[in-house]
Amino acid sequence: MQNTPIGIFDSGVGGLSVLKEIRKSLPNESIVYFADSANCPYGSKVEAQAQALAREKIEFLLEQGCKLIVIACNTVTAVAIDEFRSVFGVPFIGMEPALKPATFQTKTGKIGVLATENTFNGRLFKQTLEKYANGVEVFVQPGFGLVELVEKGEHKSKKARRLLEKYLLPMIEQGVDTLVLGCTHYPFLKEMIEKIAPQPIAVIDPSSAVAAQTKRILCEFNLCSEQNNPTFSFYTTGEKINADRILSQTMNHPYHLKQIKR
């Protein structure tokens, strides 16, 4: 069981930002990653549809023998992780909006959160807000259109810049000095965000915390691998060429990529 893979799921290629951190923390682990790029974005879909789409892919990952699943998607965590934990017999790790570290970082007491509509509508975000946002002002902004640009590899385009300026400059003008990235596609935009901010802002990406939590849970369940030759398999419902463009920039190890119709 120790040497069976970790499964990572995202609506698309965004979860590769999480995979990168998991590779750093857990270099001996084999990974099977599923990107549902043909159905991406999930962030503005009806919740039940996003749940059903994600569930099918989790079943596929479990058929591949995954010992633990990382939902590397804030949106799917928000709409489906409770159900997955109650139905499937493996540990699940999800993404939580990183408001807690943001409250420690901010000096102005004003935090921005960029995420999808479904993430903001979910119970998890409301609970996290209640728990951690005492005494700070939180500005929320759905990142309409950004996920699609990252999927197409256009995260450095003029269009990406225009959208980010529209979403972020108003909150920065109001004093936001710390920005939480509440969608795993957005770390691909980090460089552009730092460029457009008129003064330095702290950009918080929870990927490394999620990798640390994955490691903790694997150890707790005695599931850590010590193999020296881990394998990496990627499945996408989208175009192989799009996945490969981002994968080749993310992975420094040979991998196997397959398009799958599901």
Does residue number 197 form part of the binding site for ligand DGL (CB under 6 A)? no
Query: Residue 48's CB: how many other CB atoms inside 10 A?
Result: 10
Does residue number 206 form part of the binding site for ligand DGL (CB under 6 A)? no
Does residue number 225 form part of the binding site for ligand DGL (CB under 6 A)? no
The least CB distance from residue 11 to ligand DGL, in Å, is 3
Does residue number 141 form part of the binding site for ligand DGL (CB under 6 A)? no
Sequence-distant (6+) residues with CB within 8 A of 150 are 12, 13, 14, 185, 186, 188, 189
Among 9, 33, 34, 42, binds ligand DGL (CB under 6 A): 42
Does residue number 116 form part of the binding site for ligand DGL (CB under 6 A)? yes
The least CB distance from residue 243 to ligand DGL, in Å, is 14
Whether 183 sits among the annotated catalytic residues: the reply is yes
Does residue number 43 form part of the binding site for ligand DGL (CB under 6 A)? yes
Whether the CA torsion 105, 111, 112, 116 is positive or negative: it is positive
Provide long-range contacts, Cβ within 8 A and 24+ apart, for 246-250.
Answer: 246/13, 246/16, 246/153, 246/188, 247/13, 247/16, 250/16, 250/19, 250/20
Q: Which of these, 117, 113, 114, lies nearest to 79 by C-alpha position?
A: 117
- Choose between 147 and 223: whose C-beta lies nearer to ligand DGL: 147
Among 5, 7, 41, 238, binds ligand DGL (CB under 6 A): 41
- Choose between 137 and 154: whose C-beta lies nearer to ligand DGL: 154
Whether 224 sits among the annotated catalytic residues: the reply is no
Site for ligand DGL in 158-187 (CB under 6 A): 183-185
Judged by CB under 6 A, which stretch of 37-45, 104-112, 156-164, 191-199 contacts ligand DGL?
37-45
DSSP string, 131-177: HH-TTSEEEEEE-TTHHHHHHTT-TTSHHHHHHHHHHHHHHHHTT--
Q: Which residues bind ligand DGL (CB under 6 A)?
A: 10-12, 14, 40-43, 73-75, 116, 119, 147, 183-185
